Amino acid sequence: MKKYNVGILGATGAVGQEMLKVLGERDFPVGELRLLASSRSAGKVVDTEIFGSVTIQEATHDSFGGLDIVLGAAENDISRTFVKDIKASGAVYIDNSSAFRLDPDVPLVVPEINPEDAFKHNGIIANPNCSTIITLVGINAINKLSPIETLYASTYQAVSGAGAAGPVEMYAQSEAVMKGEPVEKKVFPYQIAFNLLPQIGGFQENGYTSEEMKLQNEGRKILHLPEMKVSCTCVRVPVERSHSISAIVITKDRLDLKDVSEAIAQAPGCRLVDDREKNLYPMPLDTSDQDKVFVGRIRRDLANENGINLWCCGDQVRKGAATNAVQIAQLLIAQE
């Protein structure tokens, strides 16, 4: 079997570490594995079960020669800094940052939805926002039954979506509250323990945050629905891992609920968890550390006859980031 030289840019972060884990789990045919990070991490050794001990290297403009695929797990500015070097090396850059997602020349790919777009790349393929991926995997089967015209969504996003320091702060604050001690805030602008924060990202002129607008802007591109309208509210919740989304999907045609449930049950990347008699529905605890999007609470909207309501959950570090990127890489090598 042909092997591929793979680099991970931002290898020490939560997503970078998960990419490393997923590469091993999925038996990706790695020849050389190059872990790239800042100078602070250079020289540290990462012990892996599959790839052995790998020394972290400092990411420089000369770091990408000989690589076939680079998985990006770094911030926008780092991604922009190195993108020309990655392309010049001949590697394909699968970027998890938001730097190039809306670039018309860069495909934005969820393999269960628009795999064909991955092959239109010019050296860069963008990985969508975590909540976008989870939501769209959950509703794509509905879109195949009838085009989605409007989507109303509220996201309930875990603290780990803010990075590894998010859960640390939540647990520290929880302990402080229980002891009656002052709460320290570093990661989040307000106390997150026992609280909800209805802001993720900066506010735009229209009153929506940057995170909320991603679902419309990225969703249109992925689903090939340029006219789809999305109204979204994003909320940070005191949950360690796995994002949840409440969605109201308005389709062109009125759909039968049984057809919707059957389509979701058979959809790639989905697991139907919807049993009212047994009180079964998706929850963050059940969807963490795995790659399926669980979908349930499927019911007809009471305000719009063409509306379907549902609730979905998925691990934002895995399917919402690392796994999706590795799946894109698997698409590419499968065509060779």
- Residues known to be catalytic: 130, 243
CA distance 66 to 68: 7
CA distance 266 to 32: 37
Closest CA to 192 of 153, 220, 158, 243: 158
- Residue carrying structure tokens 């790998």: 54
Query: By three-state DSSP, how is residue 50 classified?
Result: coil
Token pair of 96 as six digits: 């998890």
Read off φ and ψ for residue 30, nearest 5 degrees: -85, 130
For β-strands 69-72 and 4-9, DSSP reports them as parallel
CA distance 63 to 57: 8
CA distance 250 to 302: 12
